[in-house]
Amino acid sequence: MKSENVAVSHRVPWNKGKLTGQKPPLKLREIWAIRTRLQMASNVRELAMFNLAIDSKLRACDLTRLQVRDVRHGSRVAARATIMQQKTQRPVQFEITEQTRESLEAWIEARGLKEADFLFPSRVHTSPHLSTRQYARMVHRWIASTGLDDAAYGTHSMRRTKASLIYRRTKNLRAYSCCLGIRSWKARFATSASRSTMPLRWLSKPRFDVPRPASGRLPARNRHLRRFIERPFPTHKGTHAVDVASLRRSQC
């Protein structure tokens, strides 16, 4: 009998050799490093997209589908815009800073975009607007230009950047959730809690002041919730309180 060599095909895991998990936000110095490089390169389109991605805190699917009329009313870019999120079908409002408005105006004028046009049209004729994959390649290029490992970052890093800066300054989870268009900060916490044995009745307690076990330590299965329940959220006065109040009025 002849012995035959049978080639066995092994399925390669999709995440082999890849960094998985939550993408970190950019720091302030990294934002300015990327912005300065785009300004020096006179890259009007990417500068407008980078600035708007930081300000809007939108998901990639929403950012790439923006139309000119979403951000521009009449002859000027508005200071505030509201869109319907594709994932949740809920409206979200965001502020547009002055430097972002200027970069958007420069891009719209340079491209000659009309009100009904997509804000970032694709260079590929088969697609009317920039795809999320093209946007992801841009983000990796921006990150790599600063000397960081671009594999650790992604489009969600752009979404989380400004919200994380607001949270660091205010320590207010409601403001953070509001800026990202999350339906409810309690609902987001409940999603995490549902993966553990933590009773959901604790969600009704004010400021997550949850009683700790007699041992003083959380069970290993609940330690991923430590940042929520280890201590109550502090109440800030002065400038922090003003910032939170303005965020609530503007609905982020």
**Greater pLDDT, 250 or 132:** 132
My answer on whether 121 and 44 are in the same domain is yes
| CA distance linking residue 93 with residue 95, whole number of Å | 7
Look at residue 186 in the predicted model and tell me its pLDDT: 54
Lowest-confidence pick of 82-91, 144-153, 164-173, 186-195: 186-195
Residue pair 58/94 in contact (Cβ under 8 Å)? The answer is yes
The whole-angstrom distance between residue 85's C-alpha and the CA centroid of its chain comes to 13
Asked if pLDDT for residue 236 goes beyond 80, the answer is no
Give the DSSP letter string of 135-146.
HHHHHHHHHHHT
Span 44-51, average pLDDT: 97
Closest Cα to residue 52, out of 23, 29, 72? 72
Span 179-201, average pLDDT: 51
In this prediction the pTM is 0.68
Closest Cα to residue 54, out of 19, 20, 21, 103? 103
Span 206-229, average pLDDT: 48
My answer on whether 159 and 177 are in the same domain is no
* Residue 54 located in a structural domain: yes
pLDDT digits (tens, 9 = 90+) for 123-153: 887 789 999 999 999 999 999 999 999 999 9
Residue pair 227/154 in contact (Cβ under 8 Å)? The answer is no
Q: Identify the CATH number of the domain in which residue 39 sits.
A: 1.10.443.10
Asked if pLDDT for residue 103 goes beyond 90, the answer is yes
My answer on whether 36 and 154 are in the same domain is yes
Residue pair 55/47 in contact (Cβ under 8 Å)? The answer is no
My answer on whether 33 and 143 are in the same domain is yes
Q: How confident is the model at residue 221 (pLDDT cuts 50, 70, 90)?
A: low
My answer on whether 158 and 36 are in the same domain is yes
Residue pair 222/64 in contact (Cβ under 8 Å)? The answer is no
My answer on whether 141 and 196 are in the same domain is no
With pLDDT > 70 as the criterion, what percentage of the chain qualifies? 66
Overall domain count for the chain: 2
My answer on whether 144 and 243 are in the same domain is no
My answer on whether 143 and 34 are in the same domain is yes
Which domain does 202 fall in, by range? 171-208+223-250
Q: Which two tokens stand for residue 128?
A: 């009317």
My answer on whether 95 and 159 are in the same domain is yes
Asked if pLDDT for residue 185 goes beyond 90, the answer is no
My answer on whether 49 and 87 are in the same domain is yes
Helix, strand, coil share of the chain (percent; to 5): 50, 5, 45
Span 89-94, average pLDDT: 91
* Residue 213 located in a structural domain: no
